[in-house]
Amino acid sequence: MNKLLITGLFSIAFCANVQAGDLSPKSIFAEYSYQKGDFENDSGVNMKGFGIGLSSSPQASGWWGKFEYQGNSDFDGDYYEVSGGGHYNFLSTDRFYAIGTLGFGAGVLDVKNFDNTAYLTIPLGLEGGVNFTPNLSLYGGVGYKWAFDISNNDKTRCNDGSTSNSSGSGACSWHGGVNSHYTSNSIGDFDGVTYKTGLRYNF
């Protein structure tokens, strides 16, 4: 999870750096997020949490990057994701704005009694906001997210009790040799409708 957080911070910083020399306004945001997740085993799991990020101004088409955490207490699950992409402005007035967003992300889902599952995600959404001042906006949004399981499911159990992500003959060379090979107990793909509401500060 620490590696994912570091990657997310670098991704957000990169989004800002690629705009070096661009004097157009930027926006930082914090939001409450909610997702209805439909998993491969047909179980619907609702997850909720928060997101923080950086983008170009929503008053024009541009870019965005975000770190997001969501959890589900019923299944003792924690989900972490970093994502980024572009937004297209549909409406821009002194009082209102509306944008469409599309991006790609990488996530990790940690659920009790399952192995950690890694995901490649595609988030798609619509966002509308009210500008209280030129610098402060309240917004809400709805979207859809596809999450594809990209975990390495081939695992090796070593004779000293440790495990390895490699299934080759040298996987346990420093751990007493190979005890057995097995397939990890990952969660699998999921998708579902997403909702969000938050605040933006434009600068």
3-state secondary structure the chain: CHHHHHHHHHHHHHHHHCCCCCCCCEEEEEEEEEEEEEECCCCEEEEEEEEEEEEECCCCCEEEEEEEEEEECCCCEEEEEEEEEEEEEEEECCCEEEEEEEEEEEEEEEECCCCCEEEEEEEEEEEEEEECCCCEEEEEEEEEEEEEECCCCEEEEECCCCEECCCCCCCCCCCCCEEEEEECCCCCCEEEEEEEEEEEEEC
Q: Model confidence at 38, in pLDDT bands (50, 70, 90)?
A: confident
Token couple for 98: 């509306």
Per-residue model confidence (pLDDT) at position 18:
46
Decide if pLDDT at 19 tops 50. no
| Weakest-pLDDT range from 28-37, 96-105, 184-193 | 184-193
Average pLDDT over all residues of the chain? 83
Distance in angstroms between the alpha carbons of the first and the last residue of the chain: 30
| pLDDT at residue 5, rounded to an integer | 45
Q: What is the pLDDT of residue 89?
A: 98
| 30 close to 197: Cβ distance less than 8 angstroms | no
* Domains identified in the chain and CATH numbers: 2-16+27-151+186-202 (2.40.160.20), 152-185 (no CATH)
Question: What's the confidence (pLDDT) of residue 197?
Answer: 98
pLDDT band at residue 153 using 50, 70 and 90 as cut-offs:
low
Mean pLDDT of the 110-120 span: 85
